[in-house]
Structure 1
Amino acid sequence: MLLLKMLQAATQASDDKDIVKSHAVRALGNLLRFLRESQLTKSAFQRPLDDAVRALVKTVQAEAIMKVRWNTCYALGNAFRNPALPLDSALWSQDVFSALCHVVTFCKNYKVRIKSAAALAVPARRGCYGDIKQFSFVWHSLATALENSEDTNDFLEYRYCASLRHTLSQALLHLLGVSESQDMPALGASLDSEEGCTIKKHLTRCIRAEDGGGELEGEKEMGGNSFNTQQRIEHLQLTLSKVKELRAEGDGRREEEGGKDIVVSFLEDCLKTCEEQLELQQ
Structure 2
Amino acid sequence: MNTPDGPAAANTPKPALPHPLPGAIGLSHLSAYDWEAADGVCGGSPHLHLVCTEAYVVTGGRGAVQTLSPDGYRDIPLEPGSVAWFTPGTVHRMVQGGDLRITVLMQNSGLPEAGDAVFTFPPEVLAVPEWYASLATLPPGTGAEVEEAARRRRDLAVEGYLGLREALVAGDDGPYAEFQRAAARLVRGKVPRWRELWRAGALATAERTGAQLDALQAGEPAYLGEATAHETAPTRLGGFGMCGRRDEYNLPGTTLPYGGE
State the TM-score bracket (shorter-chain normalisation): under 0.3
Q: Which has the higher strand share?
A: 2
Report the TM-score, using the length of structure 1 for normalisation. Answer: 0.20
- Larger RCO (CA within 8 A; separation ≥ 6): 2
Report the TM-score, using the length of structure 2 for normalisation. Answer: 0.21
Q: Which has the higher helix share?
A: 1
